[in-house]
Amino acid sequence: AKDAGRNTVRFFTGDLNFLLSKRLEIEGRLRRAIDNEEFFLRYQPQVELATGRIIGMEALIRWNDPQRGEIFPKDFIFVAEELGIIVQLGEWVFRTACGQLKAWEDEGLPSITVSINISPRQFMSRRLVPTLLSIIRETGADPRRVELEITETMIMRNLEQSVQTLEHLRSVGMQVAVDDFGVGYSSLGQLKRLPATSMKIDRSFIANVPEDASSGSITEAIIAMAKRLKLRVIAEGVETRAQLEFLRANHCEAFQGYLFSRPVTSLEATAMLKAQAAA
Ligand code: C2E
Ligand code: CA
Ligand code: CA
Ligand code: CA
């Protein structure tokens, strides 16, 4: 028994060392990645249901690792968040997306919004509002065309502080979308207090409509609630015609998902906007 105990300890120590060294390796690579400009943004079109027109683009970060190729956010965002690197990375995302928005504005392309994801740590930071404002000034982007995506869970973690931060952002004209909506358990009373402009129905609900009755009723309820709160409502992760028709029947205003387009490079996104302008 004593031996087994010792083995267990040794096993755990080895495992921890392995995890720790892996973590340190990712940390080192992440820090270098910012300096080496290994990150880039993809853009996923957001489409108005009634017209089929692109009304926005969500910026989604990717890491182009020289050895491993394109890495998705699920494999590095949590490490960046834990290490605090996310604040610097988030600023890079915001600056790059605002620069892209300004470039599209300058090309005279149809006016769309650019949606930018904000991480929990970024959202809690006192520097958030002044930093975003100085980047808006620096890039010359129109703040009314910038939409921040903040998850429902993040907002509800500290409702008082969130309301203050969101009010500040709204006062300079930025839009605010409540991301991954439906996953948290906010009450109507709490939601009423939020100075948000739109709600994004989480993909987990959309994935199961129209077959699953409960996902269907939740989706309907979210759309109805958004309308009561006078918020725009957008569905994410739309992959099939049947899902789209369900959303249309329930008067959802906009959607994004593989059915219309996967997240594309900035060049491809520009081409899509040009094609729309020419049509
Ligand atoms: P999210 O904000 O919920 O973004 C939507 C995710 O769903 C994206 O994954 C997108 O590629 C994916 N998606 C879009 N349409 C479909 C579809 O029809 N089917 C399926 N199965 N998936 C679809 P992605 O790009 O891998 O991003 C994952 C998450 O990483 C995002 O979830 C967001 O939480 C985070 N993230 C991405 N970019 C950033 C960023 O710049 N900053 C921060 N803080 N987080 C980011
Ligand atoms: Ca999002
Ligand atoms: Ca989302
Ligand atoms: Ca999500």
182 lines ligand 1 (CB under 6 A): no
Mean pLDDT of the chain: 91
Instruction: Look at ligand 1, atom 6, and give the residue with the nearest C-alpha.
Output: 237
Mutation test of ligand 1: which of 30, 60, 74 has the most ligand atoms closer than 8 Å to its C-beta?
Answer: 60
pLDDT of residue 120: 92
* Residues with Cβ within 8 Å of residue 233, at least 6 apart in sequence: 198, 199, 200, 201, 222, 223, 226, 227, 252, 253, 254
pLDDT surpasses 90 at 138: yes
pLDDT surpasses 70 at 192: yes
pLDDT of residue 5: 47
Name the band, by pLDDT with cuts 50, 70 and 90, for residue 14. low
pLDDT in tens, 96-108: 999 999 999 999 9
78 lines ligand 1 (CB under 6 A): no
Name the band, by pLDDT with cuts 50, 70 and 90, for residue 162. very high
Instruction: Look at ligand 1, atom 25, and give the residue with the nearest C-alpha.
Output: 60
Query: What is the ipTM for the molecules in this complex?
Result: 0.97
Name the band, by pLDDT with cuts 50, 70 and 90, for residue 2. very low
Of ligand 1's listed atoms, the one at least distance from the Cα of 202 is: 3
Ligand nearest to the CA of 181: 3
Mutation test of ligand 1: which of 117, 123, 247, 264 has the most ligand atoms closer than 8 Å to its C-beta?
Answer: 117
218 lines ligand 1 (CB under 6 A): no
Q: What is the mean pLDDT of residues 146-158?
A: 94
pLDDT in tens, 219-247: 999 999 999 999 999 999 999 999 999 99
44 lines ligand 1 (CB under 6 A): yes
Q: How many angstroms separate the CA atoms of 205 and 218, rounded?
A: 7
Provide the CA 241 distance to its chain's centre, in angstroms. 24
pLDDT surpasses 70 at 93: yes
- Any idea which of 2-16, 36-50, 101-115, 174-188 has the lowest mean pLDDT? 2-16
Q: How many angstroms separate the CA atoms of 84 and 88, rounded?
A: 8
Name the band, by pLDDT with cuts 50, 70 and 90, for residue 197. very high
46 lines ligand 1 (CB under 6 A): no
119 lines ligand 1 (CB under 6 A): yes
pLDDT in tens, 36-80: 999 999 999 999 999 999 999 999 999 998 888 999 999 899 889
d(CA 57, ligand 3 centre) in Å: 13
